[in-house]
Amino acid sequence: MDEFLEVGQTWYVLDYKWYESWKDYSNYADSASNFGKDDPGVIDNSQLLEEDGSLKEKIVEDINFATVPERVWHMFVKCYGLANGQEPIPRPVIKMGTFTKVTKIELYPLPLLLAHYKHPTDGKLERCSVAMTIGELKVKMRKLYKIVEEAEVKLVGSYTSAEYDKLDDDSLTLEEANLQPRQFVVIIQKDGAIWPKLDTYKKTTASCFTSSTKASTNGTSAKSYSSSNGFSSSYSNGSLSSSSFFSSSSEKAGAPGLCGLRNLGNTCFMNSSLQCLSNVPTLTKFFLGDAWKKDLNSKNPLGMKGEIAETYADLMKAMWSGKNSSVAPKYFKGAVGRFAPRFSGYQQQDSHELMAFLLDGLHEDLNRIKKKPYVEVKSTDGKTDEEAANQAWQDYLARNDSIIVDLFHGQLKSTVRCPDCKNESKTFDPFCYLSLPIPPKKTKKLKVFFVSRDLGQLPVKCRVKVPADGSIADLCKSVADKFDVSANKLVAAELYNSRFQKIYKDQEFVRGIQDRDELYVYEVDEAEGQMPVVVYFKETPTKSYQTARNLCIPSIISVPVDVTYDDLYDIINSRQRLVNSEEAMAYLSNNHNADIDQRNGLQHHLNGVDIVDKDMGGDVDRDMGGDVGSEKEEPMDICSSPKATDQPQIFDITLVSQYGYSQSNGLPYTGSLGLKPLNYLAVEFDKGLNVVRADDAFDVKEDDSLYDSQSEPGVTLEDCVQLFATEEELGKHDTWYCPVCKDHVQAFKQFALWKLPKYLVIQLKRYKSSMSSYSYYRDKVDTLVKYPVKNLDLTPRVIGSQTNSKYLYDLVSVSNHFGGLGGGHYTAYARNHDLDQWYYFDDSSVSAAAENSVVNKSGYLLVYERHE
């Protein structure tokens, strides 16, 4: 939606695939190929919601969900409706950040545990906007605990049983006050003319933890509760339990550095980055002493007022004290959020982006250059590469001099070459990390559900190998080879919530298909005079306002081109497995006469009604997939005579839209139905039937290929460096101005390593985006990159003049990312320098790790240390 965010607005969250379907249908993307699409049906946000209706954690915008303004949401609901039992998901637009303000949609309100100091175990979980002020929270708690207006009150915040913070500035927002998810806020009431003593605060906050912990462990059953932002808590007998939220950081304290970081709400990305940097020995030693204080530059206009350095130093001291098994990095997170609002709130972020921000923030906070001089860019004409590189490095050091530059900054040579006159431009630029591309795979393994034309067989879930740049035709060939069927009889489709999202064209590429997509390949008969149609199996709703739910995975079956209703009924009935023959016979025997009357009455009602409309599909070639309805439809002839047979039937068949909605009044019982290839049909079973439950009907058989342990060949880190250093042509929209040709040209660009730092940070570019002729897509590259744990030799790659220098590196730490773009989790491997042992850090958890487990396909961010 091309609309700007304004504070005070309400936007609504909705399923991204539904939104994409609506854009196709409405021609929003302005693509001729989208014309004639079926309407998207009712809005179904079930994939975004937990069982209790709360919003799932770790969902990603433009992958899992989209947001639309209030007026658009109401238009959508009016036109298409919202799935039964679901509530809208409104979210406010607020200002976030302290020193740098940004306008954002607050996806996850802040869950707080509110308590009265006299009744600390009677806690209540409330979700509050981070834009709420302390004063507004105070008013809310007054009402919650029925405290009269005249009574003096104050608030106390507590994140552990051993500490508390006074919340006495009513003007601060909850974000500015650095309140964290699941933190206790206690309201203190003045007793006459006397405030409770300091010890009372401590006892109260301690009671919030100890009493509720006992409540959850005294034999009473603890129920699960989840707030609307996806954070879970627990309670017993109506009282909140903090045992699932908090633990004493001093319990089972480990060796220095073996300290976990508590997840403050989707902060695993931050914890992973912090553990990686925490195990950089020279940097941590610098912060554990007082040397950093001499370099503190709190007046640097490009810095963070010293707050990033100060909170990072405090965090390192807590992690390396040897007194804590885990700590909550809430003050560090608060400081980061104040200067980089994209990291405020509680949405999943990227560990590399956090590390890049942190290194830059530490650099500026500790920059020894108190007043940066103006440095004029000097010409490199007539200079050797060495002279130009040294000049550029000295100019950089004139404005940038810190422990971060000393340890992490290197220098790249960049060459741009004109393809016409061969003129070259060379620059020498500093870098803090290398982003290395991963060579593309030659093949790709796709998860597929194969559905045999024999509906009596369960769908088979398997993996097949296809060329990485292959087509849907290649996919069908791989499936055909695996199951010994004809590739010409296969149709590939994407399902979502057991509804057809799209039917693929044979020439479409597979590279846009992701592992989370539900990819089905159907076997159909394409004998002469046959055509495929899509069939949904639905349960007739018991109430008029309900939507018929799908009973099983929809099917694609072959029917005669001139199929009649009776023939269609017999074909479907012979292949359905939802109602057994004994149940059907008993039902038909009991309902014979009533069924005849019902059908005759329905047939009379259908006289003169046009059945087919724009939602019901149209004439397409198999190769054109599901783009139906592009030609003008002719109305079907409706016969006034009753059904050819008087036998009652156990289901009705209707025409529906691609998504199984927009039901018509029915089909004629006599004569040819006039169906077209890939029309969508719905089979609705009569209400009195005992239909197989969905849990059974959605069963699949798992093939051994899902668990194929055969290791992939993978690529080496050297391959990634080689690709990074390979000359490439700039894109059409990324041209370079050649001063000789005096024109913008598609130049060739190449990078080379000139100077490498003591600590080398490498990002493996696992996220990619691409545009095909059919769609724009983003994906995660899950290729195994074999990076050396010891003796990474980059000496041959460094072209600077330090001919006697050796660039040998050992791995220090790894940030791992598990899962895809639509979620996932970050952890870290790091080698404790003091113990010379690898450890695995997963938020609060720390465990010893074998060295051979450090190299894995989830490795995303690598930190190397150069040999002395």
- Read off the DSSP letter of residue 27: T
Residue 238's contacts (CB-CB under 8 Å, 6 or more residues apart) are none
Distance between first and last Cα of the chain: 55
| Catalytic residue selected from 116, 352, 363, 825 | 825
Q: What residues form DSSP beta bridges with 499?
A: 496
- Residue 834, classified by CB atoms within 10 Å of its CB into exposed (0-12), middle (13-18) or buried (19+), is exposed
Q: What is the 3-state secondary structure (H, E, C) of 466-507?
A: EECCCEHHHHHHHHHHHHCCCHHHEEEEEEECCEEEEECCCC
Q: Which residues face 567 on adjacent strands?
A: none
DSSP letters, 149-193, are TTS-EEEEEEEETTEEEEE--TTSBTTTTT--TTEEEEEEE-BTT
The maximal CA–CA distance of the chain, rounded, in angstroms, is 101
Question: Which residue carries 């047979």 as its tokens?
Answer: 645
Identity at 371, one-letter amino acid code: K
Chain-centre distance for alpha carbon 785: 23
- Beta strand ranges found along 595-679 (DSSP E): 651-656
Strands (E) located in 237-297 = 239-241, 260-261
771 strand-pairing partners: 776
Please choose, from the candidates 523, 555, 315, 285, the residue with its C-alpha nearest in 3D space to the C-alpha of residue 407: 285
Looking at residue 745, its amino acid is V
Kindly list the distances between the CA atom of residue 867 and the CA atoms of 277, 336, 793, 794, 862, in Å, as whole numbers in the listed order: 18, 32, 10, 12, 16
With both helix axes pointing from N to C terminus, report the angle between 330-339 and 268-278 in degrees, rounded to the nearest 10. Answer: 100
**Residue 676 · residue 620 · CB < 8 Å:** yes
Is the distance from CB of 155 to CB of 141 less than 8 angstroms? yes
Among 259, 268, 552, 738, the active-site one is 268
Catalytic-residue membership of 259? no
Q: How many other CB atoms are there within 10 angstroms of residue 3's CB atom?
A: 11
Concerning whether 733 is annotated as a catalytic residue, the answer is no
For residue 105, give the H/E element and its range: strand 102-105
Written as one string, the DSSP assignment of 725-792 is TS-EEPPTTS-EEETTTTEEE--EEEEEEEE--SEEEEEE--EEEEE-SS-EEEEE--PPEE--SS-E
CA–CA gap between residue 575 and residue 577 (Å, rounded): 7
Residue type (1 letter), 365: D
Catalytic residue set: 268, 825
